[in-house]
Amino acid sequence: MYDIIIIGAGPAGLTAAIYGTRARKKVLVLEANAYGGQIINTLDIENYPATPHINGFDFATNCYNQALELGAEIKIEKAINIIDGDIKKVITKDNEYKCKSIIIATGCGIRKLGIDREDELIGKGISYCATCDGAFFKNKDVAVVGGGNTALEDALYLSDIVKKVYVIHRRDTFRGEDKSIEELKDKSNVEFIYNSNVTKLIGSDYLEGIEVTDKDSNTRKIDASALFVAIGRIPENANFTKIINVDSTGYINALEDCKTNVEGIFVAGDARVKTLRQLVTATSDGAIAATNAIKYINRM
């Protein structure tokens, strides 16, 4: 039996593992895919204190190795259910693990456009990661859809690689940082398309263009070899909503103490209700959740 089971091996989960093992607790981390979460797609981290200009993959690998060296056990298994009790259980497809406390650090997944042929063209012009796939479209025309920081950062990154970037947003103002907006406006190869949505994907085997429809129902065809979708994230909490309270958008209800409605179950990182989802707040949550889990176990 484990003291703490952490669901998710992103920055929040791995930080929780570091804190848990340093407190001499037996810690298991369950990760459905690969360690690191969304941060592994970040080309350059420059806003994490004392660690300027490190790429996301290296940062995540450092966290992963640190957790392992301290004694955490990490398994690639997807948690599909949790069962509460004095001794709690985490259920995966093939196993059942018992523990004293649980930290949910599942983060968020990509939000898709939800239009015809989107899934069919993934990897054939449709991408959700500019830093992963941007180099494939060197000197070509591409489009980015979204209005937050991710979309703006993607467009900035791509503007140094591709021939032209169309930035498509459904509103007339962006939610992202003013600095990024101003930098994009200074780029000669960036065109903004406001009050518009991508309504059609054009091309047979590969993406060749997109159709954009504005608020007045006027349509425009744009030749583009790639469409980078950055319209937000979806919390990965669906498997736990039978016992854990979430808000209307699926984020787990928890305050800064990272405590859920169930005693002994905590949440850390982007999966919870919060106003700022950044690397620094994810690691902070991991430390707080683990510290409170340790206090809970020590009172048992």
Catalytic positions are 129, 132-133
Tokens of 131: 């830093």
Strands (E) in 159-282, as ranges, are 164-168, 190-193, 196-202, 209-214, 219-223, 226-229, 233-235, 265-267
Between the alpha carbon of residue 292 and those of residues 13, 245, 285, the distances in Å are: 14, 19, 10
Task: Output the DSSP codes for 234-268.
Answer: EES-GGGTTTS-B-TTS-B---TT-B-SSTTEEE-
With contact defined as beta carbons under 8 Å apart, do 292 and 259 qualify?
yes
Answer yes or no: are the C-beta atoms of 297 and 101 closer than 8 Å.
Answer: yes
The neighbouring-strand residues paired with 198 are: 212
Our measurement of the distance from residue 298's CA atom to the centroid of its chain's CA atoms, rounded to an integer in Å, reads 32
Dihedral-angle region of residue 12 (phi above 0 means left; psi in -120 to 50 means alpha; beta otherwise): alpha
Distance CA 278, CA 131 (A): 18
8 A C-beta contact, residue 73 and residue 28: yes
